[in-house]
Amino acid sequence: MKQKKTVFITGCNGTLGKKLVSYFLKKNFKVIGTIRKFNSYHQKSKNLKVFKLDMLKDNDFKKLVNNLNKTNTTIDVLINNSAIPSGSITEMTSIKNLKNVFEVNFFSQIRLIQNLLRFIKKSKNGSIINIGSISGLIAEKGFLSYGTSKCALMFASKIMAKEFRKYNIRVNAIAPSVFKSRMEKKMDKKIKQKFLEKSSTKKEIKLKSVIKLIDSLSSKNSGETNGQIIRLVNDFKI
């Protein structure tokens, strides 16, 4: 009997995270999800395990790894989806804010990969997919903390792709433009319009397009795709 693959998804309380959990459950994956707070999570399935993980708490990381060790877990796909939004011009951005955004959107992502690498090494065809942002590739006013944190994560993906190749683990990042989510609702309307105007379609990306790309990168059929930053829409003008 063919063994089910396991996907590990962070930020499962967010719009994209919830959709990814449902999508991979329908594909008959075992899903391990993380959320910062338990009280607002409602998805249930025999193939779903949900762990509390505050990306800023060392103790949560330790508990997570201990649980995975106890169950002899193998992770085939890791989707680094958790992030926090932030927007302000440079002279109005405090160093405290900058550090906090980087802690969640960059440092904690790397720490999670470091902690989970032993479990991904056990997979025959491991795939790490880091969710970046087009704001990490296009310099727009007001994105000092968020844009540069995503830029750092996407650049790190290229480095990890080279380092993890010997373990048969691929690392890629995606850089979507605007799509409907709780984070998108918090965007400044003028900035949002600027991003849309730079796209040839002038429209928001459909959530299913983001999921389709993630699904493709998780598949062994994309075995030659490694160390890439893939933009949505692909014909985005820079």
Pairing assessment for the beta strands 126-131 and 30-35 based on DSSP bridges: unpaired
Indicate whether 75 belongs to any domain: yes
Higher model confidence: residue 158 or residue 222? 158
Indicate whether 237 belongs to any domain: no
| pLDDT value at residue 97 | 92
| pLDDT value at residue 178 | 65
Q: CB neighbours of 227 closer than 8 A, spacing ≥ 6? A: 157, 158, 161, 162, 171, 172
| pLDDT value at residue 200 | 56
Q: What number is the average pLDDT over the span 99-118?
A: 96
> Residue 214 sits in a domain of what CATH number?
3.40.50.720
Residue 100 in this model has a pLDDT that exceeds 80 = yes
How far, in Å, CA of 104 to CA of 13, rounded? 15
Mean residue pLDDT of the chain comes to 87
| pLDDT value at residue 184 | 47
How far, in Å, CA of 97 to CA of 116, rounded? 27
Q: What number is the average pLDDT over the span 3-9?
A: 93
How far, in Å, CA of 148 to CA of 145, rounded? 6
Q: Which domain holds residue 56?
A: 6-232
Residue 121 in this model has a pLDDT that exceeds 70 = yes
| pLDDT value at residue 86 | 86
pLDDT tens for each residue of 153-166? 999 999 999 999 99
pLDDT band for 85, please (50, 70, 90 cuts). Answer: confident
What does residue 194 show for φ and ψ, rounded to 5 degrees?
Answer: -60, -45
Indicate whether 226 belongs to any domain: yes
| pLDDT value at residue 135 | 85
DSSP letters for 55-110? TT-HHHHHHHHHHHHHTT---SEEEE-------B-GGG--HHHHHHHHIIIIIHHH
Number of independent structural domains in the chain: 1
pLDDT band for 197, please (50, 70, 90 cuts). Answer: low
Q: What number is the average pLDDT over the span 126-155?
A: 92
| pLDDT value at residue 234 | 41
Indicate whether 238 belongs to any domain: no
Indicate whether 88 belongs to any domain: yes
pLDDT band for 201, please (50, 70, 90 cuts). Answer: low
Indicate whether 84 belongs to any domain: yes
Residue 122 in this model has a pLDDT that exceeds 50 = yes
DSSP letters for 194-225? HHHHHSTT-SPBPHHHHHHHHHHHHSGGGTT-
Indicate whether 1 belongs to any domain: no
Q: By the 8 A CB rule, do 36 and 57 touch?
A: no
Residue 95 in this model has a pLDDT that exceeds 90 = yes
Indicate whether 214 belongs to any domain: yes
| pLDDT value at residue 50 | 95
Pairing assessment for the beta strands 30-35 and 48-52 based on DSSP bridges: parallel
User: Any idea which of 4-18, 46-60, 83-97, 103-117 has the lowest mean pLDDT?
Assistant: 83-97
| Cα–Cα nearest to 181, from 40, 39, 42, 19 | 19
